Amino acid sequence: MAVSTTGVPTGAPAPDVPTRKGKRSAHRWTRRDRVVLALMIGVPTLISVALVWVPALSSVALSFTRWDGIGLDSIQWIGLRNYREIFTIYPPFYPALWHNLIWLLFFLLVPTPIGLFLAVLLDRELRFTRVYQSLIFLPVVLSLAIVGFIWQLMYSTDQGLINAVLDKFGVAPIDWLGNPSLNLWAVLIAASWRHVGYMMILYLAGLKSVDPALKEAAAIDGASDWQAFRYVVFPALRPINIVVLVITVIESLRAFDLVYVINGGRNGLELLSVLVTQNIIGEASRIGYGSAIATIMLVISTVFIVIYTLNIFREERR
């Protein structure tokens, strides 16, 4: 929403203008209108509930069972046992949680600020700004499986570009993808390659909505570029920051394709989404177990969805 300090009305009606209320009561709703509206809202809602929410809740229900996925009659209720085992005897679980957390922190601390920085640089009347934006955004358009392949060409121990270059300098080949202390960082760089463009575009949008009058006022007051940014622009970016935070968190939680393509998500690349997949798709068939891990993911996501929701309500009330 355009921040306006001068009270100049912007294109959209202000939140608490009652005019519409008053005008509305003058309308008459035909029966046909009601049916049309009911359908227009009802059909998509039904589809969403049936294909997204019902399965999601079923997964939560399945997490309390033991099932191999074959035949509904073999579902066995076992209560919290799956959860107990996940928390006690499942070796990849804590590493996966930890890696998801590292993923989140890395994304928040590296590609996101870089994206912001690039957005600030590009948010000015600059020739070729579109070209720069496109080139930096291009990786976002690629599927993650392809991103994984492209970066494996760089990281492969025996045939990758990086080790070939290092070899010319006499450095022994480094096992980027096989060494568990290195591979997560290698993958994070590949993922960030993509995330920077995404963040840059979001921040460009946010910056466009910051009232230039604010920046001008700051300049008039003698503030330097950095001061103007820190005290005027950045606070005005609050709405976009919330979006960035939510998207980054969700992307970090959902991270999957990249590590799956590289080594199936093992040996230092464990992630929650991969653990779910390993248990429900593939040769293994521990549906209950996998659903329990998925439910844990869901609970963590819900925390952030709630934050996002509360923020919307708070914004509304303002």
Give the span between the Cα atoms of 304 and 277, in whole angstroms: 22
b/e code 272-304 from CB counts within 10 Å (16+ = b): bbbbbbbbbeeeeebbbbbbbbbbbbbeeeeee
Phi, psi of 4 (to 5 degrees): -125, 125
CB 271 within 8 A of CB 300: no
Residue 221 CB, shortest distance to another protein, in Å, is 20
Residue 230 CB, shortest distance to another protein, in Å, is 20
Residue 76 CB, shortest distance to another protein, in Å, is 9
Give the span between the Cα atoms of 104 and 188, in whole angstroms: 10
Residues 6+ apart with CB under 8 A from 54: none
* Residue 78: how many other CB atoms lie within 10 Å: 15
Residues 6+ apart with CB under 8 A from 243: 202
Which C-beta is closer to another protein: that of 43 or that of 105?
Answer: 43
Residue 109 CB, shortest distance to another protein, in Å, is 19
Residue 240 CB, shortest distance to another protein, in Å, is 6
Which C-beta is closer to another protein: that of 108 or that of 267?
Answer: 267
* Residue 147: how many other CB atoms lie within 10 Å: 20
Give the span between the Cα atoms of 179 and 233, in whole angstroms: 42
Which C-beta is closer to another protein: that of 57 or that of 109?
Answer: 57
CB 191 within 8 A of CB 255: yes
Which C-beta is closer to another protein: that of 40 or that of 219?
Answer: 40
Our CA dihedral for 62, 63, 67, 70, rounded to 10 degrees, sits at 40
Which C-beta is closer to another protein: that of 108 or that of 250?
Answer: 250
Residue 102 CB, shortest distance to another protein, in Å, is 18
Which C-beta is closer to another protein: that of 22 or that of 222?
Answer: 22
Residue 239 CB, shortest distance to another protein, in Å, is 4
Give the span between the Cα atoms of 208 and 191, in whole angstroms: 26
CB 190 within 8 A of CB 161: no
Residue 266 CB, shortest distance to another protein, in Å, is 6
